Amino acid sequence: MTTETPRWLTSSYSDNGGACVHVATNLAARGTVPVRDSKHPTGPVLDLTTEAFSTFVTSIKSGDLSTA
């Protein structure tokens, strides 16, 4: 367990339309990337492994994820 505080950021690619997530990449060196809903910053946090986060980002970039 780390006591380091997440430093939340929103992607520069975000269009600020409300469908954004915050990520705390400062914890990646510890093997985790916390993710949360930007509309609910005090809500739940999903702790992804760095491998899972990388796969997620790659899937988004390649268009493999469908919204349908």
Reported as a single tens digit per residue, the pLDDT across 14-57 is 776 767 889 999 999 999 999 999 889 899 999 999 999 999 88
Q: List the domain range (segments joined by +) for residue 24.
A: 19-57
Q: Is residue 24 part of a domain?
A: yes
Q: Is residue 29 part of a domain?
A: yes
Higher-pLDDT residue of 34 and 61 is 34
Cα radius of gyration (the chain): 12
Q: Is residue 37 part of a domain?
A: yes
Q: Is residue 11 part of a domain?
A: no
Task: Examine the pLDDT at 63 and tell me if it is beyond 90.
Answer: no
Burial environment of residue 33 by CB neighbours within 10 A (0 to 12, 13 to 18, 19 or more): buried
Task: Examine the pLDDT at 1 and tell me if it is beyond 60.
Answer: no
Q: Is residue 42 part of a domain?
A: yes
Domain count, the chain: 1
What is the structure's pLDDT at 68? 61
What is the structure's pLDDT at 33? 95
